Amino acid sequence: MNAQKTRLLNVSTRLALAGGTFGSYVQVDDYEAFLLDGLDTSLGGASVRCDATVCNPAVFAPGPFANWAAVGWLKHLNSSMQCGGNGVDWQSGSTLRISDSVIQGCAQYGVRAGTRRGGYGGFDLENVYQEVGTCANPLGKIGQAGVIAQGGSVRIRGGEAPTGWVPYFASTGSQDYRYYLVARHARFGASNPLYAGRAKSNGSGNIRVTTPDIVGASTLDLLRVSLVPGQHEQAPFGSGDYAVVTNVPRASACAHGVCAFTDTQAKLQAYEVAVPAYFPMLDLWPGNLVLGTNQDSGSALAGARAWMDNAPPDIAAVQGTTAPALIASNCDSLGGWTPLWVSCYSAMAPSAFYEQGALLLAVKPNADAGLRANLKGRLNFSTLGTGPGHIITLSDSNFQKTIATANNRPVNDVSDAFLGYDHADSNPANVGISLGAPKSISSYIGNTGDGKNWLERLTVNLKSFRVPLTTNSPITSTVPAGTPPLSVASTTPVANLTVSNHPHLQACGTTVTCSAKAVTGGQIIFGSVSLVQGVATVKGFSPSFKTADSFQCTASDKTTAVNAANAVAISGSSIVVRGTGNDVIAYLCAGS
């Protein structure tokens, strides 16, 4: 069909003649405003051609955009393909909307659209029901896709869509294997690891892994991770033992749309997962939602992006860490995890889903060549009003009160943890930022925040440091008289430290003119001792002087002042005191 403002209403199929098939039930060429309202395939059975050579859709817009830029609205479809065909393949590059429809029992995909053959339009699904059933892909065990977006954008609202199926390659045991394919392009480099299927293994024997072909790849890497019960599902990342086989030439692994590999279950090889630089076009891939490009590319901007009400599991997207691929209002627990950047606003109840989905925000690329410095942040609070208050409540100590309060903005509580402001008026220049927590505030460097190896911590009665302090300003204590301003456990002298109202030690030297050389690490020791037959040894100076030559002593006879007495160092921690008989001799030693 090739016209303008064409309307097809309540189209119904019938069983084909023996040995006969349709190419597609409806083909839309250059309709700029085409409406298909009602297509019931339930009477036709599997009447479109679908085999290992070609598997056609019920509705087809072949494009290309330059010649046949069809715009279509499809609604009230009852497209049940009975595993003998696909749903909708819209390659015209103009907009497509599918609503209030059933697309199920598809052999390879439910809906495929985008800008692969040129164009700019995205496509929308609203209230579309999808189901795979027990269909087998005629190409082999490579699964089915619910929706494939080849570049452009897709918006999905309501319904039970998209729904695909990811293949099981083995079921011999309890070890849960997840397989990923990395495609390498001769010019662009490596792709995002794409989740291709799983296996339950007993740990021995060969597992045959099959994936759809990625035509633009030159070589392929097959990776594997094992899902550990009770832990996060994680795709390969960074460096690790992931590789089943690497650098497999596509020409040797792939034929007739399918790539095949053998996992012998030998020890996995070390592998470095690269940042995606190759963003491939995917004709087919297993999963509920597949987000590829319209042609092989080295730009992350080429990847399709999806907007959804509810994000499903089993999403395959080519962008990886380079760009957001999915924006969703709600993300429940997602599995079948291809490395995927999701921006999500809510999730199911935290009591059922501990790992609530994250909201990921990038500020700038790391490799920004030093450009665009001093930008304001992605989270920007335009006005604060009069303080004090919370800007971000990090932990709500009375969440029941918050939920019970209109608009969820109650007065804060003393046991909240928060980033806030404690001083603000109408002038933004007068804002003072505050940070609070009910137990402690700790600072870490190069640590996960383990609760033990903090470097600075504030509690209700103590500020603690585990690193040296440096200041270029005086330290002032306002502790009242009678209370020491410092409490020091160490007895090691501090170099260059003098305290008001304490003696300053100076060494005058050996001449009649005092050189007044300051003594660092100095101390004064004094006492008295009773002589025994004119002599006594005093020991145990602690801390000791450096050596016997680093301090000097003087002595006087307390019993009979006119009697002579002296004290001489014999080591850094002892002196010999001499005098008359059993007199009591006072001594005083100073030095370092």
Residues 357-400 have pLDDT tens digits of: 888 888 888 888 989 999 999 999 999 989 899 999 999 999 98
Tokens 């505030």 belong to which residue? 441
Tokens representing 583 are: 């007199």
294 lies in a domain? no
Instruction: Say if residue 134's pLDDT is above 80.
Output: yes
Instruction: Say if residue 494's pLDDT is above 80.
Output: no
Tokens representing 524 are: 């004064």
Q: What 8-state DSSP symbol labels residue 160? A: B
551 lies in a domain? yes
Q: Are 282 and 292 in contact (CB under 8 A)?
A: yes
What residues contact residue 329 under an 8 Å CB cut-off, 6+ apart?
Answer: 308, 309, 310, 344, 345, 346
Please name which of 278, 156, 268, 139 lies closest in space to residue 210, comparing C-alpha atoms: 139
* Residue 250, H or E segment: helix 250-253
Please name which of 92, 75, 94, 196 lies closest in space to residue 145, comparing C-alpha atoms: 196
Distance CA 574, CA 548 (A): 8
Residues 195 and 89 in one domain: no
Residues 102 and 145 in one domain: yes
Residues 148 and 252 in one domain: no
Residues 158 and 178 in one domain: no
Residues 219 and 159 in one domain: no
Structure confidence at residue 421 (pLDDT): 95
Residues 43 and 190 in one domain: no
Please name which of 579, 576, 538, 549 lies closest in space to residue 561, comparing C-alpha atoms: 579
Q: For 489-515, give the secondary structure using H, E and C.
A: CCCCCCCCCCCCCCCCCEECCCCCCCC
Residues 138-147 have pLDDT tens digits of: 999 999 999 9
Where is the domain boundary, 224, 250, 272?
272
**CATH classification of the domain holding 572:** 2.60.40
Which of 35-49, 58-72, 291-305 has the lowest average pLDDT? 35-49
Quick one: pLDDT band at residue 45, thresholds 50, 70, 90? low
Structure confidence at residue 496 (pLDDT): 66
Which of 49-63, 249-263, 444-458, 520-534 has the lowest average pLDDT? 520-534
Residues 83 and 204 in one domain: no
Q: Are 580 and 560 in contact (CB under 8 A)?
A: yes
Residues 234 and 217 in one domain: yes
Please name which of 146, 368, 192, 145 lies closest in space to residue 297, comparing C-alpha atoms: 192
What is the distance, to the nearest Å, from the Cα of residue 194 to the centroid of all Cα atoms in its chain?
18
Structure confidence at residue 276 (pLDDT): 96
Structure confidence at residue 580 (pLDDT): 94
Distance CA 314, CA 309 (A): 16
Q: Are 134 and 82 in contact (CB under 8 A)?
A: no
Quick one: pLDDT band at residue 481, thresholds 50, 70, 90? confident
Domain count, the chain: 3
Q: Which residues form the domain of 218?
A: 168-272
Residues 225 and 103 in one domain: no
Residues 11 and 104 in one domain: yes
Residues 307-360 have pLDDT tens digits of: 999 999 999 999 999 999 999 998 887 788 899 999 888 888 888 887 788 888
Instruction: Say if residue 166's pLDDT is above 60.
Output: yes
What residues contact residue 109 under an 8 Å CB cut-off, 6+ apart?
Answer: 86, 87, 89, 144, 145, 146, 147, 148, 164, 284
Q: Are 182 and 193 in contact (CB under 8 A)?
A: yes
3-state SS class at 126: strand
Q: Per DSSP, which regions of 332-455 are E strands?
A: 342-346, 389-395, 417-423, 432-436, 441-443
Rounded alpha-carbon distances, angstroms, from residue 62 to 73, 148, 521, 563: 16, 15, 90, 123
Residues 122 and 228 in one domain: no
Mean pLDDT computed over 49-72: 93
253 lies in a domain? yes
* Residue 183, H or E segment: strand 175-185
Structure confidence at residue 335 (pLDDT): 81
Q: What 8-state DSSP symbol labels residue 97? A: E
Instruction: Say if residue 229's pLDDT is above 90.
Output: no
396 lies in a domain? no
What pairing do the DSSP bridges indicate for beta strands 258-263 and 109-114? unpaired
Name the most confidently modeled range: 223-237, 433-447, 499-513.
433-447
Structure confidence at residue 2 (pLDDT): 64
314 lies in a domain? no
Residues 71-86 have pLDDT tens digits of: 999 999 999 998 999 9
Where is the domain boundary, 220, 251, 272?
272
287 lies in a domain? no
Structure confidence at residue 1 (pLDDT): 58
Residues 131 and 257 in one domain: no
Rounded alpha-carbon distances, angstroms, from residue 274 to 43, 184, 197, 240, 277: 50, 11, 21, 12, 8
436 lies in a domain? no
Please name which of 471, 445, 446 lies closest in space to residue 456, comparing C-alpha atoms: 445
Q: For residue 179, is it left (φ>0), alpha (ψ between -120 and 50) or beta? A: beta
Runs of H (alpha helix) within 241-387: 250-253
Structure confidence at residue 497 (pLDDT): 61
494 lies in a domain? no
* Residue 401, H or E segment: helix 399-404
Instruction: Say if residue 231's pLDDT is above 90.
Output: no
Structure confidence at residue 396 (pLDDT): 94
Backbone angles phi, psi at 528, to 5 degrees: -140, 155
Where is the domain boundary, 272, 303, 323?
272
Structure confidence at residue 30 (pLDDT): 84
Instruction: Say if residue 498's pLDDT is above 70.
Output: no
What residues contact residue 157 under an 8 Å CB cut-off, 6+ apart?
Answer: 124, 125, 126, 127, 308, 309
Mean pLDDT, the chain, rounded, equals 91
Q: Global pTM?
A: 0.81
